[in-house]
Amino acid sequence: MDIRIFSTANELSAFTAQEIIELVRARKSSNRTCVLGLAAGATPVAVYQNLVRLHRQGQSFANVVTFNLDEFYPMPPNSPHSFSRFMRENFLNLVDLDPANIHEFDGSLRNHGVAEFCERYGRAIAGAGGIDLQLLGIGRNGHIGFNEPGAARTSRTRLVNLDTVTRRDARDSFGADEVPHQAITMGIGSILSARRILLLAVGRHKTAILAKALDGAVTDKVPASFLQKHPCASAYLDRTAAERLARVNQSL
């Protein structure tokens, strides 16, 4: 897996946004849509800010189709904790995306409707031609999306139970509200079907898990380790996050 280390999180974010824009432009010049899979969370916020800035400087997203990566469940769409709301407020509503091109999870569905919704989500991704570029963060337990330790390599979009580490880490942003016990997520198989994958990580709290995910064995105990087998996945890290990586230690 290709690993690129940046001096600062700002540089990482600007570089990532530029890569996304170049793909959007390349697809536009051949009259095609560009299909993006989008992660929520703290790490990609500055990427979205860069994309919005580029939009204000004239970059169009009219040929872009988006698929959110995951959502807590249950979760009303307008809750301050909703990833769908997060994506709309940080990116989707701030650029010229066609609302028909935006795909998000409905965390307010009744339980019996979730499986069918997930089926349709998978079909919508296939119908859009598959994901051109998938943005990912990584949890301290190695999760990608909400594919927690133990998730199968071939898993598809589905309802999952959240791991205690994930729920504990979410507590800061949930404050007094209870963190849901479940989530809907694209599966590892769905993520690995993307043609290009960018795993972003910054900060000391990601150092230990990145050493396992990028240098360790490929195992369902660390779901992000499955990315090692993807033909076109890169990890973009800041220096702190990369500190314990055996392969890059010497260049730090």
Is 141 a catalytic site residue?
yes
Nearer to ligand F6R, 40 or 245 (CB): 40
Q: Determine the Cα–Cα distance for residues 211 and 188; give it in Å rounded to an integer.
A: 20
CB-facing half-sphere around the CA of 57: CA atoms within 13 A? 7
d(CA 26, CA 30): 7
For residues 36 to 55, the per-residue mask of contacts with ligand F6R, x marking binding by CB under 6 A and - elsewhere, is: ---xxxxx------------
**Which of 83, 91, 105, 121: binder of ligand F6R (CB under 6 A)?**
83
Q: Is 137 in the site for ligand F6R (CB under 6 A)?
A: yes
Between residue 54 and residue 73, which ones bind ligand F6R under the rule CB under 6 A? Answer: 69-70
**Which of residues 28 and 180 has its CB atom nearest to ligand F6R in the complex?**
180
Backbone φ/ψ region at 142: left (φ over 0), alpha (ψ -120 to 50), beta = left
| SS3 assignment for 5-26 | EECCHHHHHHHHHHHHHHHHHH
The one-letter code for the residue type at 92 is L
Handedness of CA 54, 56, 57, 63 (dihedral sign): positive
Rounded to a whole number of angstroms, the minimum distance from the CB of residue 12 to ligand F6R is 12
CA–CA gap between residue 105 and residue 67 (Å, rounded): 9
Q: Which one among 81, 88, 103, 143 touches ligand F6R, defined by CB under 6 A?
A: 143
143 is a catalytic site residue: yes
Burial of 125 (0-12, 13-18, 19+ CB in 10 A): buried
Q: Decide if 68 is catalytic.
A: no
Residue nearest to ligand F6R (CB): 137
For residue 138, report the phi and psi dihedrals to the nearest 5 degrees: -135, 135
| CA dist., res. 181 & res. 159, Å (int) | 11
- The CB-of-126 to ligand F6R minimum distance in angstroms stands at 21
The contact mask relative to ligand F6R for 190-229 (x = CB under 6 A, - = no) is ----------------------------------------
Catalytic residue among 104, 143, 230, 243: 143
The reply to whether 89 belongs to the active site is no
Which of 71, 104, 132, 148 is labelled catalytic?
148
Closest distance to ligand F6R from the beta carbon of 140 (Å): 8
CB of 203 to ligand F6R, least distance (A): 8
Q: Can the peptide bond before residue 74 be classed as cis, meaning omega within 30 degrees of 0?
A: yes
Identify which of residues 112 and 178 has a Cβ nearer to ligand F6R in the complex: 178
Residues taking part in catalysis: 70, 141, 143, 148
Residues that bind ligand F6R (CB under 6 A): 39-43, 69-70, 83, 137-139, 143-146
